[in-house]
Amino acid sequence: MATAISVNGVSMEYKTPKGTTHVLDDVSYEVQDGHFVSIVGPSGVGKTTLLRLLTGLALPTAGEIQVRGKKISSSPDDLAVVLQDYTRSLMPWLSVEKNIALPLKNQKLSKAERKERITASLAEVGLEGAESKYPWQLSGGMQQRVSIARALAVRPSILVMDEPFASVDAQTRFDLEDLVLKVRDDFGITTLMVTHDIDEAVYLSDEIVVLHGKPAKVRDVVKVDIPFPRSQMETRNDQRFAELRTHVYGMVRGLE
């Protein structure tokens, strides 16, 4: 299996007027093609920072990140992102349709193809017919689905998400989790997700990367050996699920 992303000895420091904050220290990790990987860790540990480095929004102070063997220096192609703050990552002056269309404008697509992509990805997230609505006319969960649809519409080979379900209600959250798994199956997308929620990480992932410390290092990589397909009811009641989540939870809290 090929490597989709490799993170090699990455360190990150923020320079502020008050001095430098050392956030990440010598982080190394490889994501295999088609895998679902979650990054967990306590709040403020540097998860979003790592994700900004992966998406080329910031450059590491040491080390390098390669996407499909190429070192990245800006946002790589065929990678799509769902940012943490979805209420502010959709353009409020564009309708849902135009929001999704915006990144597609630079791909060589005919008008009809573009239209088709938009319809298809909206259908994928269960938002048929919302094309002409403005984002702020939709509920939080629906907005989040639009931003997932926008990411899917570019047909990325890698999908990166920062706490995508943090502020939606529990029911929507389960639906969206299953949606993400389905998308991964349908398109074979390599998926990287930052989350606070350890249950969610265990439920979705092939592997969980635990960040810990100040500056943060990779504390451990947990392989989730629960077979796919998974289901909300059964998987979450599984013996193995409980063991894994206790294990990860302990590491995140620094108990183990």
Ligand X SMILES: Nc1ncnc2c1ncn2[C@@H]1O[C@H](COP(=O)(O)OP(=O)(O)OP(=O)(O)O)[C@@H](O)[C@H]1O
String of contacts with ligand X for each residue 184-213, x by CB under 6 A: ------------x-----------------
207-212/217-223 β-pairing? antiparallel
Give whichever of 44 and 254 is closer to ligand X, judged by the CB atom. 44
Rounded CA separation 128/192 (Å): 26
Q: Rule CB under 5 A: is residue 61 a binding residue for Mg ion?
A: no
Find, among 73, 102, 76, the residue nearest to 89 by Cα: 102
- Which of these segments, 33-41, 59-67, 86-94, 184-192, binds another protein (CB under 8 A)? 86-94
- Whole-number Cα distances in Å, 182 to 13, 151, 191, 194, 218: 37, 15, 12, 18, 28
- Which of these segments, 26-34, 117-125, 129-137, 224-232, binds another protein (CB under 8 A)? 129-137
Q: Specify the length of the chain in residues.
A: 256
Q: Rule CB under 6 A: is residue 164 a binding residue for ligand X?
A: no
Rounded CA separation 164/149 (Å): 12
Q: Cβ of residue 241: shortest distance to Mg ion, in angstroms?
A: 25
Q: Rule CB under 8 A: is residue 190 a binding residue for another protein?
A: no
| Contacting positions for ligand X (CB under 6 A) | 14, 16, 21, 23, 41, 43-49, 196
